[in-house]
Amino acid sequence: MSWRLQRFPSPKPSVALAVRAVAILLALVVGGLVVAVSGLNPFALGNQVMKSTFGSSFGLEDLGLLATPLILTGLAVMITRRIGLWNIGAEGQFYAGALAAAAIGLFVEGPAWLMLPAMFLAGVAGGMAWITIPTLARAFVGVNELITTLLLNFVATLLVYYFATGPWRDRGAGTLGSTPRIRYEMPELWGMVHWGFAIAVVLTVLAAAVLSFTRWGYEVRISGANPENALYAGIPVRRRIIAVMLLSGAVAGVAGMLEVAGTVHRLQGGISNNFGYLGIIVAVLARTSCLGVFAAAALMAFILNAGIILQTQGLTTSAIVALTGLVLLFTAIGDEFAHYRLVRADRATA
């Protein structure tokens, strides 16, 4: 009896999960070897990272603060994957949402109970506005959204730098890279973790429910799986593309608003900390599962928090960027291998 490898259209869920775990483990092993070559003890550093992260309330609070924007940017990218598209512009939409929310927080006065929802809506509008051109270009002209969303990231970044260092800069401070402190702040949920974390969780659960259990979500999935058949079945594919991409931009904009109102409390250059780009990795790790975003975001938050700790030991931020790249690389390789299974040769040719 002979056996052969055969590729299947979709892997078994259990196999896919196991492959993900192995890919992440391999990335950490390779990262540890690089650290060892650098002359440091990877086991001692790992032990320090675990104690600093999970051994104190401060470490857990940092983890929650980092996970909040990662959940939302990962969700923003994952939503477009449901319809077969890639929103690579969550970084720019994050900045646009932060800019719009900061404008409300800096220049509009009112009670906090009213201004925080206003900033939330401004963040939604900012993110949606920033993805509007790529959305219309993709829906009506067929322009690849990978290019348009990516290029607008740089425009949004420079726009925020302009306002933070120019007309909105804090003239009473010694630094020139940020606006004055925004007076409206998200209430604290636990320690430094604000209610934005709860908002991120609620939005993700709602997205999972809508995409999995509603007719609209079913039409989105069908439109992504087979647009031609969806059109034949009477599904308005173009409208679904527009709705999904605008929703994705809105979620990324909310992430920017929460960072302004909940964590940084001012608009400044580099406020994103690459959360938009890291959201791509979160979405890849989560596959097409909204709830999988939680685990993937927690992993990336742990890596970022570990990076902060490791920098105190002489490692640079480039090492952490390399580690996230390794996670993505091994995951991509593992995802491909997960499609293959050993089958009997007679069954494979039947």
Residue 136: what pLDDT? 97
Of 339, 335, 305, residue with least CA distance to 53: 305
Residue 132: what pLDDT? 97
Residue 93: what pLDDT? 98
- In order of 134, 173, 343, the CA distances from 249 in angstroms are 10, 33, 44
Domain range for 3 = 1-40+315-350
Query: Do 115 and 177 form a contact (C-beta atoms < 8 A)?
Result: no
Residue 346: what pLDDT? 63
Centroid of chain to Cα 81: 13
Residue 55 inside a domain? The answer is no
Query: Do 241 and 65 form a contact (C-beta atoms < 8 A)?
Result: no
Three-state SS at 6: strand
Quick one: tokens of 42?
Answer: 């990877």
Residue 12: what pLDDT? 78
Determine phi and psi for 340, rounding to 5 degrees. -100, 140
In the numeric block, the tokens 């999988």 are attached to 292
How would DSSP label each residue in 117-156? HHHHHHHHHHHHHHHHHHHHIIIII---HHHHHHHHHHHH
Query: Do 168 and 179 form a contact (C-beta atoms < 8 A)?
Result: yes
Of 121, 102, 118, residue with least CA distance to 110: 118
Q: Residue 193 is inside which H or E element, if any?
A: strand 193-194
Number of structural domains the chain divides into: 2
Q: Is the domain of 219 the same as that of 327?
A: no
Q: With DSSP H G I counted as helix, E B as strand and the rest as coil, what are the percentages for the chain, rounded to 5?
A: 70, 5, 25
Determine phi and psi for 339, rounding to 5 degrees. -80, -15
Tell me whether strands 188-190 and 3-7 are parallel, antiparallel or unpaired: unpaired
Residue 45 inside a domain? The answer is no
Round to the nearest angstrom and report the end-to-end CA distance of the chain: 15
Q: Is the domain of 178 the same as that of 248?
A: yes
Residue 117 inside a domain? The answer is yes
pLDDT digits (tens, 9 = 90+) for 139-191: 999 999 999 999 999 999 999 999 999 899 988 765 567 899 999 999 999 88
Residue 214: what pLDDT? 95
* Tens place of pLDDT per residue across the chain (350 aa): 577 778 877 777 788 888 888 888 888 888 888 878 877 788 888 888 888 888 888 889 999 999 999 999 999 999 999 999 999 999 999 999 999 999 999 999 999 999 999 999 999 999 999 999 999 999 999 999 999 999 999 999 999 999 999 899 988 765 567 899 999 999 999 888 999 999 999 999 999 999 999 999 999 999 998 999 999 999 999 999 999 999 999 999 999 999 999 999 999 988 998 999 999 999 988 887 888 899 999 989 988 888 877 777 777 777 777 777 888 888 888 888 888 887 776 654 44
Distance between CA 122 and CA 38 in Å, rounded? 46
Q: Is the domain of 195 the same as that of 142?
A: yes
Residue 57 inside a domain? The answer is no
Residue 49 inside a domain? The answer is no
Residue 52 inside a domain? The answer is no
Residue 60 inside a domain? The answer is no
Q: Is the domain of 211 the same as that of 349?
A: no
Count other C-beta atoms under 10 Å from residue 103's C-beta: 17
Quick one: tokens of 170?
Answer: 């804090």
Count other C-beta atoms under 10 Å from residue 39's C-beta: 7
Residue 16: what pLDDT? 80
Q: Is the domain of 154 the same as that of 100?
A: yes
Distance between CA 247 and CA 201 in Å, rounded? 16
Distance between CA 251 and CA 343 in Å, rounded? 43
Q: Is the domain of 230 the same as that of 287?
A: yes
Q: Residue 344 is inside which H or E element, if any?
A: strand 340-344
Centroid of chain to Cα 116: 23
Distance between CA 159 and CA 95 in Å, rounded? 9
Residue 47 inside a domain? The answer is no
Q: Is the domain of 264 the same as that of 323?
A: no
Residue 347: what pLDDT? 56
189-208: b (≥16 Cβ within 10 Å) or e: beeebbbbbebbeebbeebb
Distance between CA 114 and CA 248 in Å, rounded? 25
Q: Is the domain of 282 the same as that of 342?
A: no
Q: Is the domain of 277 the same as that of 250?
A: yes
Instruction: Return the DSSP state at 341.
Output: E
The reported pTM is 0.90
Q: Is the domain of 116 the same as that of 192?
A: yes
Q: Is the domain of 273 the same as that of 341?
A: no
Centroid of chain to Cα 317: 19
Q: Is the domain of 186 the same as that of 75?
A: yes
